[in-house]
Structure formats: structure tokens, C-alpha cells
Structure 1
């Protein structure tokens, strides 16, 4: 025993302890098994060696503040994937820093909704980052043809996303087509300057292209005919391409053999003729989206039956009146996803036919199919044992008995949406049998009480998201049951649950993984309760306390100390004063979205100073009258940064 004790003493007395026996490679493998960002941060704080190992292993960085870009890239010398989307502005100098310090090792760069850089900055990236394969410029509204000319230097570019870049034209796309021969994914959604010439250039030069999104562009059948010749094109989205008609689909029928996913939602000039032509071809479609574009007829459904490999079909918003939807179940036996959200004419008979014919269904969206009854629920429970997602918002004919069938028959359900349904406590008892549930929506369910949440908390321990918005029977005991029974909850919506008090927030404080909390119009809450949340929920990113009339500066000050990662907060109609708002501006360095309507205790000068102090601010909502009262140079400066100012005219 003495020898054992001496051995233990020696192990702990040695400088550095036994950990020094482990090489950096072993420590890096240990680090790889810590996916949570805060756990990795804790690792870094253990000792300098752990900090060094983490720095040498890090290959991905999501930066929040551009001013530390140079230091970060110098420290993390192995970074290959860089996301700068949360930075308010990225200048040409910033991109030159990336080019200099990341250089040829950089593989992906994200600049989503970022402003401040010009074509010169991306030219620097193009010259120095020759290995770059993925660039994401989503909603960079100032990006145009000159920018794409700079990116055209990236010979290894495989993925380019520029949705919302309305100044891009066929000229810019021509630069990419001429140089980026390895391009495989191209997203041009909402690029209103794109016409056939640019797409034809891409089709002629980028023979490896497999994913193309042309939604909301002005392309026509002419360019689609050339796209149909691409041997590797698998995914094509033509949503709201109103210059595309049935001729385009005939071209795809005659040319494309690789196409697997096609989206023609909202295409006003696509008819059942084009879809039937495609269905009668050798195209092996796996997913087809026809939402909001044409009436569904029996003839069309009979054609779709021939798509034997079809795994997903979306008919959202279509008129199905008079059609026999059950025809789908006769032919598409491998169907995994079926969606008829907001369709007119959906009834039990049609849906039951699909369910019985497609027992392998994993996702079923029946939102606002108001004529469905417990008969459909029975069919789901008996035929679709592997169902993962079921959405039935506003299906008010489903009763307690229907929910019991689901609870007993679908043990693998991970997502349930019964918003605005006739769900009661006994129904929730049945739902709680679905122990794999991760996402549950029970908003506007007026008949549920605390007992319902007790059942959920006792059965659904893996829950990540719970929405009980406007379910007015919920109070403190129910929230306590959820907090103790669902410790991994990340998103919680309690808005308009007017019975909850600070006691509920004391319970919520147990949820250390909580990232999003909505408490709108929970009128009994005070700053005391909010302070409990702030002290424990360190991962909080989004918070809504609109119309919480008793929340004031002490609660906000607690948030600024305890929740440093907050990016979005709605403080409208609260009692927060100048002190609270300035604390948010100066101490929450990540804040990007503020809603500040009817904050009567905040002065105009404070609004101006606070907004200018929020260096990462991207969106702010204010009363219209402040537009006249706030100094014009403040508004100009915010807009020049890229901050979106929304002026609201709302009653007090």
C-alpha cells in the first residue's frame, strides 16, 4: 500500500505530471473528440501546451471581429477554412491580410452579407490563394462583374455562391466560365442581371458542373438546352424562372441523363405537359419540386408514377382538388419525403394511399391540410414505422386518439409540429412516448397545461427545440419539468405564456446549452429572473424580451456580463434606459441585430451613440420618428457600414 501511495504521489509531484508522456498527436486526437466550441475553449485554458496543440490543429475559424484578423491568422497557422460572415466590414486590407497569411493553404472563404471590400481585395485573394475551392458571397449586394474577374484567377474553384448579387451580369459570369473549369457548384439565385449568354458560357466550359441554382433569374429555354448536355448535372433549381416553359423540360428529357433533383416551383409557364414529358423519359429523378406552379391532375400523377427512383416530391401550395393523390403510392415505392403543405383538396383517402404505398417515408409535411382526420394518423402509425418528421400545423380534426396512435406507432420520430392543433394533456402524454424527439412545436395549443410539459419532460430527454408560443395554459411547473427533463435543449419559445414568472427563468437557467430564448410578452418576468439566465446560459445567442414590461437595466447588465456571445436581442417595449443600452453596445462585441422600438426611457443621443458603438451591427429596428430626430451623419455612417435600418411605425 505504501508503494502504491508513493507511486501516486510521484505521478502528481512530477513537473507537468503524466500528461507530458502524451505526444502532441495523441492530444490532438483527444481534442478532435470535443466538438463543442466552449469545451474546446476550456481545453485551451488548461495550460500553454494545450493552447499550442489547439492552435496547431485548428483548420476552421468563424471570426466575429475583423480587427483581430491578422493576430488570429498568425496564431492559427493551419487554418484552411475561413468564415468572415459575422464581421461587420471586411476591407480590401483585410482580404490582403488573408491572402498574405493564409495563402495557398486556404480552401474555403465565406463573406456572407459582408460589405467594405472591393474587387481589389478579391483580386489579392485570387492571386495568392491558388488552392481556394469554395467562395461564398451570398447577399454581398455590391459585388459585380469586376469582382468575378478577380475570382477568375482561382483555377481550382469548385463552388461559387453569389445569390442576391444583383449587379453580376453575363460578362462577369463569362470570366468565371473561361477560367474556372473545375466548377462543380454554382448558385445564382436572385442574380437579376444573368441571362442566357452567361449560362451558355458556363455550360460550354464547366463540364464538371453538378449543382446549379438559377432561381429568380431571367434565363430561358435557350440556355437550358445547352445545360441538358452536361454529363454530370445532378441538381437544378429553376424556382420562379418565368421565362422557362415546357420546352426547357423537353430539352432536359432529351439530353440530361444525370439529373437527380429538379425544382420548378413558382414557374408560371411550366405546365403538366413538360413534367409529363420529363417523367416519360430515361431521366432518373430522385427529387421533384412542383410547389405553387400548376394544378395537379390524375394524368400528371400517373406520369409521376413512372419515376421509379423518386425519393422526394413537394407539391406545396398546389391545387389537388379532384386529383387522386393516392396514385403516387402506386408507383413511387421508394419515396422518403412527401410534402403537400397548404394544398387545396387534400383528404384522408389520397394521403392514406400514399402512406400505404410508401412505407419507407421519413418526412411527411401535411401543414394546413385541414380535412385530415384520425384515419390518416392511423395509417401513418401502422405503415410508416420509420417516420422521422411529421408536420401537421392547423390540422384541427386530429384528436387525442390520433395522437395516441402516433405515439404508439412511430417510435423513431425526431420532429413533430402540431402548432395550432387540438392537442391536450393526454395527447402530449402520447407524444412523450416518442423518446427520440429532438424538435417539438406546440404553439397555439390552447388546451395544454403544465401536465403536458411534465409528460414531455419525463419522456423526451433528447429534445433540442421546444416551441409553446401562445400556449397560454403553460406556467412555472411546466417549464421546470422541461428544464429538468430536457437538459440538452438549445431553443425554447415561451412567448405569450403569460403565467410564467421568474421562477421559470430560474428553471431555464439549468439549460447550459441554451442558445435561443423567446420570452415576448411574458408580462410577469423581471430583471431578477433574467439575471439567473444570464449567470448560467453562457451560450446564449438570441434573446427576445419584447413587451416584458418589468425588465429593466439590472437584467440587461447581467446579460452583458454573463452572455458574451449574444448576437441578437429584442428589447422593444421594455423599461431599459440609456445605461442598459450603452452596456449592450460597449460590452456585447458580437451584437449584430437589435430591435429597439418604443424604448421610452432611452434618449435620442443615446440611440445615436450606442448604435455607432456596435461595431458588428448589421440590422436594427427603430421607430420612424427617430429618423428625423437622430443626426443625419449617424444614419449615413451606419448605412455606409452596411447596417440595415428598419424604420417602424407601431402603436405604443
Structure 2
């Protein structure tokens, strides 16, 4: 946007450290690889690699143009062969991260790195490897695990999420040798942890069926000082095991216990008492948690991220109390699915965390209203992610920073906010606590009339100028009136307006005009959208990666033609149950944009199809 010299300067590899390029196994990718070679690209995701001649050609190009510069390679869920893997890895001597999750074909035979020359070449390439992801591997055994980790002496992070690990019995019956080609055992894992205790800092054992006794054994490995531990959906873990974990690993910075359904408030007490360095804590789907146990989190002075999503007994009042006297400044906060959360709590938390909060997730918090929205807009000016999906009481008035005058005559809208809450909101300058009248006649005020007459109001959603993600899914009281005016966010990359039934092409075109950085757009079940609006949108927004227009009956094959012409980066498309779209046009679209790796077409043209490339 400046000139060619500045453009090429911006492509310098030193400015590309956080950029990851994703390449499908296509003939068109060969030229892309050559171009990336000139930029010395360090991060690469490769999809759909297998034993085909095209895959071999892609690997040759990667080795020739990118090999010496690659620091991160992801082969997630590829069907890559052993020979192809070795030919790729052997020439990537700068690797720091390697993702082999779901690459079951690579481990099925059990012969990976069986030959000494292969082991030598791989060890030379993985000498500086720090992160290894072995998640979701059905055929990982002690033998292949030992061979692969033996080539990575500097390993700091290891993921075994979703792997089949035997925790409850010893397949070696006390033998010194642990080199099974059939199972991955706890005993072998403990041996590995003892050998790498000094260097290993992060471990992911999510969805592995780890037992409480096994977790205690892992936590108590002599010399092991973990900073990150992920135990998502480990349903066998007890409060007692978490207590031992917290005492044995006091240096934990990141702890994820989401979905560990047997845990209660005792685990939170143990965390608060022992993990003083903790910064990131996830307690999602712990349905036994009650609000009172969260008061102890005030002891965690470094806490920056808290997730209590789907904890249905949490209302947040104790969090307000504990953080009122805490020095921690929250950055990420998730209450998704906490239906007891009220406006008074949202207001207090917004005022408490102010400019520090970057992510707020209130998805399915059914009780919150426009009062919460006005508080968010007024206090949380630095938000980058705001999720309000399924908050069905939110209206146009809230997004526009206005109070619905008709609420004054509706006693049923009165909330138990208390005098202090009302006084604080009054000081914000744009909200007046509702006054309830018994005899005054009801006067229905239309929002359109107030906007035409220039009625004064507080800041609108546009005040959140740093917003990059906005989710308003199923907020069915929203209309074009507010959305056209407030969704004018130049940094917005992800927007969901699915099931906001009242929106029309006017909102869609307005969003495209003011949000040029948009990459992900969902407008499913919006029955008033038409081809005209979609075509204008696609011609304006050139960066779309994901588009969901399912169940939009006003959309036809004309939109698919516009997608083929304008969407050069699109990877995910959902046109399911669009009556105006035909199977033939979908097939043509696939040939026109082969880089689209996921096209969903259920019930298109009267058929039940599910096309996933």
C-alpha cells in the first residue's frame, strides 16, 4: 500500500516469525513454495500428504526451497509414509516445533526409525527440537515413542493428548526392559520424565484416561518442574490427585482442568493455596463448582486468564468480591454457558478490569441484557474478542448505547441491581436508572425516530475499535437499525451473525464496506439475505477464509459464481440446506477453487451430501 520497496522489505523473514503458511498438496502449491523460499518462511502447515507422486514432488520443493529455514512443521492428520517423512525431516536442521498429531499411517507399522542410519539423520535434524505434538495417535508404542524422543534431546513441550496409554497395569510385569511395539505405557512415560526432568516444561495428557494414581506418579517425578499441564476431559482424576499435583508442582503457570468432571471446589482451594505463579487457569465444565470456592482465587496475584465456562452453579458474585481486593489484572475471562450470570456482575467485572481485559466470552449467558452491553462498551475499550452468542435479551438499544425509554413503563424489566449499581451507572453519563410509574400512560418510542431526531446517547459498539472477533449468534432482537451503524470496525476479522433473523442485505453490505479485514463470516439462517447483498460483499471483502451461508434460502448459484471469482483465499464454505444452490454448481466451484479444503453441502439440491476435501 506504500510502494514496491516497502512491500519487499515487509517480507523479510525477521518479520515473519508469527506467520504460519498452510499449503494443501496441490500442483499449484509448487510455485507458492518457490515464492516462500525467497522469504525464508519459518512456519509451515502441510495438509493431505500421502504416498502419491504429487506429495513427493511437494516434499522435494519444500526440502530444496524451505528446508534450511523451517522452524515449525505441522503434518497434522496426514497420511504421510515413513520414507516421505524421513526425506522431509532429514533436511530441516532448524526445526523447533514438530506436529505429527493424527499421522497414524506413520506409526502403524512400528518400524519408524528402525534403521540406525535413519535415526542418525533424524537426530541431526531434531537436535534443537523443543515442541513435539504426538496427539491422537492410535498406534504409538513405547518403542516408536522412545526412538522419536531419543532424537530430540532438547525437548521442552510434549503432547500425548488422545493417545492410548496404559495407566492401570504394567505390561512388562516388573521387567527392566520397556520396549513394547504394541502399547504406550505409564511406566515408559515415567522413565522418559525422569530422564528429561530438567528440560521438560509442558505436558499435555488430555483425553488419555489417566487415573488419579498415575497423575500422582507423574507429578512426583524427582526434579520435574512443569510450567504447563493440560488435562482436558480426564474424567478419572480426583480432588486428592489435584492436591498432590499442586504441592508437587508449585511452579505451574498454565493449568487446564476443563472437563475433569469428578473435581469439586476442593481442587480450586488446593490451586489457590499452592500455585502462586499461576497465570492461566481453565475450569470449564466442572459442574460441581459453586460460586463460594472461587473467592480463594484472590490469592493468585499473577492470574491473567480464567475460564469457568459451562459451570452452571457459577454466578460470578464471589469473583467480583475477590478480585476487588486483588492486584491481578485479568486479560481473558470466559463465562460461556453460565446462565446465572447477571447484569450486576458483568457491570462490576467490566469496571474492575477496565482496560486490561482483551477477551470476554458471555456466550449463552441468558440473563444479561442491554445493561451489560452498555457497561462493556463504556469500560472495556481494549477488547479484541467479544462473544455474546445466544444472549437473546440484547437489543438494538444496547449496541447503540441507548436506554429503551419504553422500559420505564415495564415493571417486569426491573433488575435487582441495587442502589450502588444504579448510582455507578448514573455516573457514566448516558444511563439513567429506570423510574417506574403506576398511572402514566404507556408511550411507545421507536428507535428509528430517536436516531432521525439526533437523540443523545452514550458510546456505541463502535467504541470497541480494537475488536477483532464479534459473535452475535442468535441475538434475535437485533436488526439492521443498530448493526449497520455499529459494526464499523476496521480491525474486525471474525464476525458471526448466524440466526439473527431480521438482518437484510443492508447490514451485509455495510459490514463489507467498513470491515475490510474480515476473514471469517457466518450469516447462516438469515432468510432475508439475497444474492445481491452477498455479491457486493464478496466483491468488497477480499480476505475471506471461512464463509457460512447455510440455510439462507435467498442465496443461489449466482453467489457461488461470485465466490469463485473473488474468494482467492477461501478454505471453508458451508452452503448446506440452501434451496437455491445446485449440486452441479458446487462441483464446478470445487474445480475453480481447489484450495477450498472443506465444503459442506448437506441437503443441497435435495440430496444429503457431505463433501470434505
Q: TM-score range by the shorter chain?
A: 0.7 to 0.9
Look up the match of 1:627. Answer: none
Q: Encode CA deviations 1:322-350: one digit per residue, 9 max, x unaligned.
A: 67324423422222222222224324543
Equivalent position to 2:345, from 372, 376, 389: 376
Alignment correspondent of 2:240: 273
Partner of 2:574: 570
Q: Is the 8 A contact 1:326 1:353 kept in 2?
A: no
Q: 1:598 corresponds to which residue?
A: 603
The equivalent residue for 2:508 is 505
Whether 2:536 is the aligned partner of 1:523: answer no
Partner secondary structure for residue 124 of structure 1 = helix
Distance 1:292 1:138, change over 3 A: closer
Number of the residue aligned with 2:186: 220
Offset of residue 593 of structure 1: 1.3
Given that 1:218 and 1:242 are in contact with CA atoms closer than 8 Å, whether structure 2 keeps it comes out as no
**In the alignment, is the contact (CA less than 8 A) between 2:160 and 2:205 conserved in 1?**
no
Q: CA deviation at 1:399?
A: 4.6
Pick closer, same or farther for the CA change 1:61–1:257 going to 2, 3 Å. Answer: closer
Query: Is the 8 Å Cα contact of residues 298 and 323 (structure 1) preserved in structure 2?
Result: no
1:622 to partner: Cα distance: 0.7
CA contact (8 A) 2:377 2:463 kept: no
Q: State the shift of 1:392 in Å.
A: 2.7
Secondary structure of 1:353's aligned partner: helix
**Whole-Å Cα distance in 1 between the matches of residues 323 and 212 of structure 2?**
32
Conserved 8 A contact 1:280-1:306: yes
Q: Alignment partner of 2:73: what SS?
A: strand
Question: Cα distance, 1:541 vs. partner?
Answer: 1.9
CA distance in 1, matches of 2:18, 2:33: 11
Contact 1:284 1:309 in 2 (8 A): yes
CA distance in 2, matches of 1:225, 1:101: 39
Residue in structure 1 matched with residue 303 of structure 2 by the alignment: 335
CA distance in 1, matches of 2:29, 2:544: 24
Match 2:42 to one of 65, 72, 81: 81
State how far apart, in whole Å, the 2-side matches of 1:317 and 1:59 are.
Answer: 32
Is the partner of 1:346 in helix, strand or coil?
coil
Secondary structure of the 1:186 match is strand
Q: For 2:504 and 2:364, how far apart are their aligned partners in 1?
A: 29
User: 1:67 and 1:98 mapped to 2: Cα distance?
Assistant: 13
TM-fit CA distance, 1:526: 2.4
Matches within 5 A, 1:390-429: 390-421=360-391, 422-429=393-400
**For the structure 1 residues 395 and 59, does the alpha-carbon distance in structure 2 shift closer, same or farther, using more than 3 Å as the test?**
closer
SS in 2 for 1:622: coil
In structure 2, how many angstroms separate the alpha carbons of the residues matched to 1:59 and 1:300? 37
**SS of equivalent to 1:507:** helix
The C-alpha deviation readout for 1:79-98, integer Å capped at 9, x for no partner, is 35363524575633432443
User: Structure 1, residues 55-108: CA drift from partner, whole Å, max 9, x if none?
Assistant: xx9997543453245545455544353635245756334324433554545444
Kindly indicate whether residue 592 of structure 2 is the aligned counterpart of residue 622 of structure 1.
no
1:91 to 33, 55, 58: 55
CA contact (8 A) 2:219 2:249 kept: no
Q: Out of 136, 140, 158, which is 2:99 matched to?
A: 136
CA distance in 2 between partners of 1:533 and 1:407 (Å): 27
- CA distances 1:282-324 after superposition (whole Å, capped 9, x unpaired): 6322233333323324586156323222223222222445673
* TM-score of the pair, normalised by structure 1: 0.70
Deviation at 1:218, TM superposition (A): 6.4
User: What is the SS of the residue equivalent to 2:517?
Assistant: coil
Deviates more, 1:457-466 or 1:537-546: 457-466
Q: Is this contact kept in 1: 2:508–2:537, CA < 8 A?
A: yes
Q: Distance in 2 between matches of 1:391 and 1:473?
A: 19
Tell me, what secondary structure is at the counterpart of 2:322?
Answer: helix
Does structure 1 residue 124 correspond to structure 2 residue 84? no
Partner of 2:543: 539
- For the pair 1:470 / 2:474, whether they are aligned, the reply is yes
Pick the aligned partner of 2:324 from 351, 356, 359.
Answer: 356
Q: Which residue number in structure 2 is paired with residue 8 of structure 1?
A: none
Are the equivalent residues in 1 in contact too, given 2:383–2:467 (CA < 8 A)?
A: no
Aligned to 1:245: 212
The C-alpha deviation readout for 1:575-604, integer Å capped at 9, x for no partner, is 2236522430221131211222222278xx
Report the CA distance between 1:276 and its aligned residue: 1.9
What secondary structure sits across from 2:509 in the alignment?
helix
**CA 1:333/1:357 → structure 2, altered by over 3 Å: closer, same or farther?**
farther
Q: Which residue of 1 aligns with 2:442?
A: none
Q: Check if 1:587 corresponds to 2:592.
A: yes
Q: Distance in 2 between matches of 1:380 and 1:182?
A: 42
Q: Distance in 2 between matches of 1:64 and 1:72?
A: 11
Residue 475 of structure 2 aligns to a residue whose secondary structure is: coil
Q: Show the counterpart of 2:78.
A: 114
Query: Which residue number corresponds to residue 605 of structure 1?
Result: none
SS in 2 for 1:534: helix
Separation in structure 2 between the aligned mates of residue 282 and residue 109 of structure 1, nearest angstrom: 31
Q: Report the aligned-residue RMSD.
A: 4.1
User: Counterpart of 1:173?
Assistant: 145
Q: Does 1:66 align with 2:32?
A: no
CA contact (8 A) 2:573 2:600 kept: yes
Once the two structures are superposed, residues 393-442 of structure 1 have per-residue CA deviations (whole angstroms, 9 ceiling, x without a partner) of: 33344454455444444443333333333333443345999xxxxxxxxx
C-alpha distance in 1 between matches for 2:155 and 2:148: 9
What secondary structure is seen at the aligned counterpart in 2 of 1:390? strand
CA offsets, 1:197-252, max 9 Å, x none? 99xxxxx99xxxxxxxxxxx965377347625601222222223324324532652
Distance 2:259 2:303 in 1: 21
SS in 2 for 1:66: coil
Q: Distance in 1 between matches of 2:534 and 2:75?
A: 34
Whether contact under 8 Å (2:256, 2:282) holds in the other structure is yes
Q: Is the CA contact 1:389–1:416 (under 8 Å) kept in the aligned structure 2?
A: yes
Q: CA deviation at 1:504?
A: 3.3
Measured in 1, the distance between the counterparts of 2:35 and 2:343 equals 60
Change (3 A) 1:270 1:29: same
How many residues get paired? 534
Structure 1 distance, partners of 2:553, 2:148, is: 54
Structure 1 spans left out of the alignment, 5+ residues: 1-18, 37-56, 199-203, 206-216, 434-447, 603-620, 624-642, 646-652
- CA drift of 1:556 comes to 1.7
In structure 2, the CA distance between the partners of 1:353 and 1:301, relative to structure 1 (3 Å rule), is: farther
How far 1:538 moved relative to its partner? Answer: 1.8
Query: Does the CA contact (< 8 Å) of 1:99 and 1:129 recur in 2?
Result: yes
